[in-house]
Amino acid sequence: MHNGGTPLFIAAFNGHVEVVAALLTAGANTEAANEDGATPLYTAAYNGHVAAVRALLTAGANTEAENEDGWTPLHIAAYNGHVEAVAALLTAGANKEVATKDGWTPLHIAAYNGHVEAVAALLTAGANKEVATKDGATPLFIAAYNGHVAAVRALLTAGARKEVATKDGWTPLHIAAQNGHVEVVTALLTAGANKEAAKEDGRTPLRAAAYGGHVGVMRALLLAEGDDDKEAGSESRWTPLHLACLDGDLARVEQLLQGGAEVDSAGKGGWTPLHLALCGRSTEVAARLLRAGASTTQATGGNTPLHNASYGGQAGVVNALRRAPLEAKNHEGMTPLHRACQRGHRDVVEALLRAGADQEAKTDVSSFVVMHAVWMEALLLHLRTSPAVMRPGGPLAH
């Protein structure tokens, strides 16, 4: 990090303001950068040495000097949450909308690390809360992605739009649901985020949460009642049995079934109590539903209960579902055996084979392409929301 640093750079990095002042009085160059393109002002901002930052600003240091990654002193102060340095730079006229090579503004970066005071300072200064990175991610999306609920609330209070999607169709609610951030999901829902928003592939926040196995998020989504629920009537709502099954509450499930609850009541997207029991990994509840006559063929997203049990590695449920259609294919052209193989669940594979599953069954021609696209989308989303300059070691770590 000190590679190529001048005495002024070293003094600024360590926050020795009296030494900084002496060097400036002697005519030290405020713009002399190290090998990474970082100036003395940048390194003072990096470490949050606000007195050194102010001394350099008074001496006329350039607030917009970028390092080799396109980061300014304001970017790095926001990244590390040094709110006093952020405030000093803003007061000196630092450009609050300057973007890195990937389109990240200081507000994106403060939101990424959940530095809510820095987020608030930037918002108060008028930073654009709707600006998007090259991949379409707004500061709200970035905060939601990492589960920083305080930053999410600050952005929502400032009026950030909740439904702005990335180029891949992900809204803040989608990504918070997929990553299991229940507090963020709740904050977004309270602010009126659309829980039924679907990507081009039909994936809703609920399905995204199910994909990640996030039961708490699923419960929050099920409990959230939107205007469409109120208008459509009770037939579209989630029942107490759905929630009891998701929670794995066998006693409550028993009570509801004894009271006449409809075992195959389907919520939006075709979710039955059995599907939710499987998402909650509750073998006992699933077995009780099957004894009550729950359908083994009703699908959600093309996946039958057997598909979901196979994917989740629930061998006990697979055995209970042995009379279910073994060769049913989901929207990706995969049978339950394919799904078990996909996840490497040997005990489930063996149970399916014992039940007579076709070990030579082939996926649809397009299945590999579809699955490859899904896997690549998830990988790229992670990479896109973790800029190279934020890798372990980060800026200036040399």
If you average pLDDT over every residue of the chain, what do you get? 86
The domains of the chain, with CATH numbers, are: 1-95 (1.25.40.20), 128-224 (1.25.40.20)
Which range (162-171, 261-270, 328-337, 385-394) has the least confidence? 385-394
pLDDT at res. 279: 83
CA-to-CA distance for 115 and 339, rounded, in angstroms? 41
Q: Is the pLDDT of residue 233 over 80?
A: no
Residue 390's pLDDT band (cuts 50, 70, 90): very low
pLDDT digits (tens, 9 = 90+) for 13-62: 999 999 999 999 999 999 999 999 999 999 999 999 999 999 999 999 99
Closest CA to 52 of 96, 89, 4: 89
Residues recorded for the chain: 398
At 397, list the tokens: 């770590």
SS (H, E, C) the chain: CCCCCCHHHHHHHHCCHHHHHHHHHCCCCCCCCCCCCCCHHHHHHHHCCHHHHHHHHHCCCCCCCCCCCCCCHHHHHHHCCCHHHHHHHHHCCCCCCCCCCCCCCHHHHHHHCCCHHHHHHHHHCCCCCCCCCCCCCCHHHHHHHHCCHHHHHHHHHCCCCCCCCCCCCCCHHHHHHHCCCHHHHHHHHHCCCCCCCCCCCCCCHHHHHHHHCCHHHHHHHHHCCCHHHHHHCHHHCCCHHHHHHHHCCHHHHHHHHHCCCCCCCCCHHHCCHHHHHHHCCCHHHHHHHHHCCCCCCCCECCECHHHHHHHHCCHHHHHHCCCCCCCCCCCCCCCHHHHHHHHCCHHHHHHHHHCCCCCCCCCCCCHHHHHHHHHHHHHHHHHHCCCHHHCCCCCCCC
pLDDT digits (tens, 9 = 90+) for 167-202: 888 999 999 999 999 999 999 999 999 998 887 767
Highest mean pLDDT: which of 89-98, 223-232, 319-328, 377-386?
A: 89-98
